[in-house]
Amino acid sequence: IIKNSDLEEIRELGSGTYGTVYHGKWRGTDVAIKRIKASCFEGRPVERDRLILDFWREAGTLSKLHHPNVVAFYGVVPDGPGGTLATVTEYMVNGSLKQVLQKKDRTIDRRKRLLIATDAAFGMEYLHGKNIVHFDLKCENLLVNMRDPHRPVCKVGDLGLSKVKRQTMVSGGVRGTLPWMAPELLSTSSCMVSERVDVFSFGIVMWELLTGEEPYANMHYGAIIGGIVSNTLRPPIPNWCEPAWRSLMERCWDADPSARPSFAEIASELRSMSSSLQPRS
């Protein structure tokens, strides 16, 4: 538990459905502070209590996770302004991978692209090993530090509130996340849903890393859902994509969850792709 009075907010980093994120300091350390909107916990008192209980339970799980490629979770602020809750996590200096990709001058060369993808795969392998399914893996939720020009660091972030998240998805706040969603999440048979939904999302992340674009940017919501469910829709792969990257990406977004590789397999393939690149002279 972190006291609100121990936090200092420096600047707002962004806001979304769940609340607002700030860059701040906690006892001299740079942190990200996510103030959660009260509306995340709305509903009948019974509902509300259950959501808040879920939130605390989830926070307990997150605080036990320790991996160099998973954003560290420092604690919960129970006494925020107006009784709001907040989470305090590790601060990543370059923000999300999406932000880096959007700055067109920051081209990510092939070697960096492999290092970033490998980091993310290691983080996900760790989470799946702890039986945690992310459900919302995308470039926006991969945080990066690009300060070392030779070695970008990528960590899986925004793990919190996957229960709240799932409800938002079901109740229609899906749009931003749709392109990353596996077909089995959108079709009726929820018995199919396993940790392999994250592998599908990772395939789309690989495409984002490759192209720097947003998947299905000019398509309508309904067309995206229809295309994912009927399994006819995948982002177009540019012809300059190297065969090994293409092959891995296509296996990740296979319509059949059991045909998708595990994150351990993905990480080892990415590593061997890295080692086959010419070493820096």
Residue with tokens 């925004």: 158
CA-CA distances (angstroms) from residue 174 to 93, 186, 209, 250? 28, 11, 22, 23
Residue 64 assigned ligand-binding role? no
Query: Which two tokens mark 274?
Result: 């890295």
Query: Which two tokens mark 7?
Result: 């936090």
Residue 273: DSSP 8-state = H
Q: Is 190 exposed, middle or buried (0-12, 13-18, 19+ CB in 10 A)?
A: exposed
One-letter amino acid of 248: L
Query: Which two tokens mark 83?
Result: 């009784």
- For 38-89, the pLDDT digits (tens) are 877 878 888 888 888 888 888 898 999 999 999 999 999 999 888 889 999 9
Domain architecture of the chain: domains with CATH: 4-90 (3.30.200.20), 97-276 (1.10.510.10)
Against a cut of 0.85, is the pTM above it?
yes
49's CB contacts (< 8 A; 6+ apart) are: none
- For 90-148, the pLDDT digits (tens) are 999 999 999 999 986 556 899 999 999 999 999 999 999 998 888 889 999 999 999 99
- For 215-270, the pLDDT digits (tens) are 999 998 889 989 988 888 999 999 999 999 999 999 999 999 999 999 999 999 99
Q: How many CB atoms lie within 10 A of CB 241?
A: 15
pLDDT at 231: 85
**Known catalytic residues?**
136
Alpha-carbon distance 251 to 123, whole Å? 19
